[in-house]
Amino acid sequence: MSHPIAAVAPAVGLSSWSFEPAVTVPALAAAALYWRGFTVLSLRMPERFDARRPAAFLAGLVMLVLALCSPLDPLGHFLLQAHMIQHLLLMLVVPPLLWLGAPVAPLLLGLPRPLRRAVARGLAAPPVRRLTAVVGHPAFAWIAFIVAFWFWHLPALYDLALGSDAWHHVEHLCFLATALLYWRPVILAWPARSPWPRWTMIPYLVLGEFQNTALSAILAFSDRVIYPAYEAAPRLWGVSALEDQSIAGAIMWVPGSLAFLLPVLWLVLTAVAGTKDARRIPAQPALRRR
């Protein structure tokens, strides 16, 4: 259902939490299923499922609700900077937090036993396994993430999403789904396995960050308003459309780049620590001939 931008003006404000059922109900269901499965796994594998896992997963769900149900959503129809924060949450904050919770096993174990068995049989079917092998491959995930990133930031499609609830939901779903694929091989939460060596995640992330920097620079330094919908929208708090666009570019550039570069630093430090540990292991003495 389409809506003109002016129609959402009364919704803008600190009290404009929508608690959209399409977001809150799945989030609450996921939290309940995860917790049910986690309570079992924390007893069976306490070294793998400690308190940090549910903290990360639940934080991811909270960030998801914040992105889609808070005042950010109506404000995004007036301010590109608000919409940019929403997109950063969906693509760079929510997915890593969810994967840090190692959600696959807890969610599956949290299902009722008959449904759990049906899901397990479905996942084990050869066509599904072949599909998940393709979709879960890092190359596919990287391409899907970058395509969705640029596709929905094209002016015509961006304005389309701003003017239609249905397309706006599709845009957000594309961002979240492709970001989940993108961050999966980076976090590599148990029981995931990657066909690529661990060090490849460094250029994987750096190349992803290049895309983020390129778009943020375009927004920050452009001398014209790129998205006509914001030029036509009522201005809030005396911020012009061009100023708003520059601020959005800066938000995308600094916090957005950190979301890519901090994991790179973590991977580098982990690799260095692993190399040092390997050097400390004493060599096994050669067996003497009798």
Q: Which residue has the higher pLDDT, 42 or 17?
A: 42
Q: Where residue 13 falls among pLDDT bands split at 50, 70, 90?
A: low
Is residue 4's pLDDT more than 50? no
Residue 11 pLDDT? 46
For the stretch 203-217, pLDDT in tens is: 999 999 999 999 999
Tell me which H or E stretch contains 232.
helix 228-232
Cα torsion 64, 69, 71, 73: sign: positive
- The stretch 101-130 carries a mean pLDDT of 93
> Can you tell me whether residue 164 is helix, strand or coil?
strand
**Mean model confidence pLDDT for the chain:** 88
For the stretch 210-248, pLDDT in tens is: 999 999 999 999 999 999 999 888 888 888 999 999 999
Q: Would you kindly state where each structural domain of the chain is located, as residue ranges? A: 15-276
Is residue 251's pLDDT more than 90? yes
Is residue 5's pLDDT more than 90? no
Is residue 289's pLDDT more than 50? no
According to the 3-state scheme, what is the secondary structure of 183-197?
HHHHHCCCCCCCCCC
Residue 2 pLDDT? 38
Q: Are 71 and 14 in contact (CB under 8 A)?
A: yes
